[in-house]
């Protein structure tokens, strides 16, 4: 009489660890895409935890279960033990069999390894492009744009300069500078707009004629007066008014601006910041100022909650 129940081995049920691992990877990539380090950290923790549990579950049969060692309860023999037989009479122990792996186990391990390699190839570049700019593309140092009389009152001037002269043309920047005259406290007022569209970072052009006859270069800074009634992005149709407010197209906020200082009668460019909206004009304008954010991200309103953390960087 045969015992048919011993011929079918019990197969383990499907594991939920791969699903948790996939959810963790998805959260990690989404967090990196929206620059949310909180979501990315949660995804990383989930991926690591479920990945380890998945690997432990897969390798259970290979690792084997450690048998429990019960305490010895054998009674002490009363009679003296017989003398051991000569060494020649003791048969040699048979060598332990080598561990074997089934084809299904080999294919499963190969699939997991290939998936891990693909995940690394996809994730590592994303991490590099997301994290490294926070440490490499830092804001430019203060830039001396020249004496104040190089900027006529009430008129925009296209100022082009090298942020890092040792790096050459790759560090060339362009800003739109307007001398607003004096404020109510008799201090010079300037509007300095960054020339990058806040949609995708394309170059913005002034909508108006450039006075080439009055163009000049002062101490390495090229200055071109322009009659700019507005500013436009030729790439995707973004339109801004003379204060940098968004008027049409895909941009999500106003043009970014620079802070500045006056040192010894010279205009010094300082930090870049984001602008939600500008009310009024010139020296009397009220500016909604925010920490600088990459193009395409909201800085005010409900949408700003989608971008809780943005790496501080400046692209050329």
Answer whether residue 312 is part of any domain: no
- Alpha carbons 233 and 196: distance in angstroms, whole number: 9
- 293 and 184 co-located in one domain: yes
What is the average per-residue pLDDT within 221-243?
92
Answer whether residue 5 is part of any domain: no
CB atoms under 10 Å from CB of 115, counted, come to 13
- In angstroms, what is the C-alpha Rg of the chain? 35
Q: Show contacts of 276-279: CB within 8 Å, 24+ apart.
A: 276/300, 276/301, 277/245, 277/253, 278/243, 278/244, 278/245, 278/254
- The pLDDT score that the predictor gives to residue 92 is 62
CA 174 to chain centre: 25
- 153 and 34 co-located in one domain: no
- 48 and 147 co-located in one domain: no
Answer whether residue 20 is part of any domain: yes
- 48 and 127 co-located in one domain: yes
Q: pLDDT confidence of 178, banded at 50, 70, 90?
A: very high
> Is there a contact between 137 and 272 (Cβ–Cβ < 8 Å)?
no
- Alpha carbons 255 and 196: distance in angstroms, whole number: 8
pLDDT above 60 (res 211):
yes
Output 7 or 63, whichever has higher pLDDT.
63
- 291 and 150 co-located in one domain: yes
Answer whether residue 196 is part of any domain: yes
Output 240 or 73, whichever has higher pLDDT.
240
- 200 and 231 co-located in one domain: yes
pLDDT in tens, 43-69: 888 888 888 887 777 777 665 555 555
Answer whether residue 41 is part of any domain: yes
> Is there a contact between 253 and 275 (Cβ–Cβ < 8 Å)?
yes
- Alpha carbons 188 and 100: distance in angstroms, whole number: 83
Label the pairing between strands 254-263 and 246-248. Answer: unpaired
Answer whether residue 97 is part of any domain: no
What is the average per-residue pLDDT within 105-129?
73
- 200 and 258 co-located in one domain: yes
> Which residues does 223 contact at the CB level (< 8 Å), separation at least 6?
146, 150, 151, 157, 158, 159, 215, 216, 217
Answer whether residue 27 is part of any domain: yes
- The pLDDT score that the predictor gives to residue 313 is 43
- 121 and 186 co-located in one domain: no
DSSP string across 100-140: ---HHHHHHHHHHHHHHHHHHHHHHHHHHHHHTHHHHSPPP
- 118 and 206 co-located in one domain: no
- The pLDDT score that the predictor gives to residue 77 is 54
Range of the domain at 269: 139-306
- Alpha carbons 193 and 173: distance in angstroms, whole number: 11
- The pLDDT score that the predictor gives to residue 24 is 84
Answer whether residue 184 is part of any domain: yes
Which CATH number is 176's domain given?
Answer: 2.102.10.10
Query: Which of 244, 226, 253 shows the shortest CA–CA distance to 280?
Result: 244
Q: How many structural domains is the chain composed of?
A: 2
- 112 and 192 co-located in one domain: no
Q: Which of 131, 151, 169 is the last residue of a domain?
A: 131
Query: Which of 265, 248, 267, 245 shows the shortest CA–CA distance to 257?
Result: 245
The DSSP H or E segment spanning 287 is strand 286-291
- The pLDDT score that the predictor gives to residue 190 is 94
pLDDT more than 90, % of the chain: 30
- 265 and 291 co-located in one domain: yes
pLDDT above 50 (res 136):
no
- 274 and 296 co-located in one domain: yes
pLDDT in tens, 236-289: 999 999 999 999 999 989 999 999 999 998 999 999 999 989 998 888 889 999
174 forms beta bridges with: 160
> Is there a contact between 137 and 314 (Cβ–Cβ < 8 Å)?
yes
- The pLDDT score that the predictor gives to residue 135 is 46
Output 15 or 246, whichever has higher pLDDT.
246
């Amino acid at each position: 009489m045969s015992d048919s129940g011993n011929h079918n081995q019990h197969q383990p049920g499907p594991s939920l660890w791969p699903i948790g691992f996939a959810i963790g990877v998805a959260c990690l990539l989404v967090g990196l895409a929206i620059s949310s380090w909180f979501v990315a950290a949660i995804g990383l923790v989930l991926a690591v935890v479920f990945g380890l549990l998945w690997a432990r579950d897969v390798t259970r049969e290979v690792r084997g279960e450690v048998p429990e060692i019960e305490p010895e309860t054998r009674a002490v023999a009363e009679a003296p033990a017989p003398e051991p037989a000569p060494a020649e009479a003791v048969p040699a122990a048979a060598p332990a069999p080598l561990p074997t792996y089934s084809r299904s186990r080999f294919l499963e391990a190969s699939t997991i390894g290939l998936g891990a390699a693909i995940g690394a190839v996809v994730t590592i570049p994303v991490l590099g492009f997301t994290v490294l700019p926070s440490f490499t593309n830092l804001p430019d140092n203060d830039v001396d744009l020249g004496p104040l009389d190089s900027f006529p009152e009430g008129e925009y001037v296209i100022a082009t300069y090298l942020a890092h002269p040792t790096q050459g043309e790759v560090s060339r920047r362009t800003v739109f500078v307007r001398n607003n005259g004096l404020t109510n406290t008799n201090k010079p007022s300037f509007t300095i707009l960054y020339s990058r569209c806040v949609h995708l970072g394309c170059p913005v052009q002034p909508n108006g004629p450039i006075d080439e006859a009055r163009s000049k270069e002062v101490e390495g800074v090229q200055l071109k007066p322009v009659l700019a009634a507005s500013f436009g992005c030729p790439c995707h149709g973004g339109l801004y008014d003379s204060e940098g407010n968004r008027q049409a197209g895909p941009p999500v906020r106003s043009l970014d601006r620079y802070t500045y200082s006056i040192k010894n009668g010279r205009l010094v460019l300082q930090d870049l910041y984001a602008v939600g909206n500008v009310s009024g004009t010139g020296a009397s304008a009220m500016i909604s100022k925010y920490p600088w954010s990459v193009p395409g991200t909201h800085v005010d309103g409900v949408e700003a909650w989608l971008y809780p953390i943005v790496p501080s960087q400046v692209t050329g």
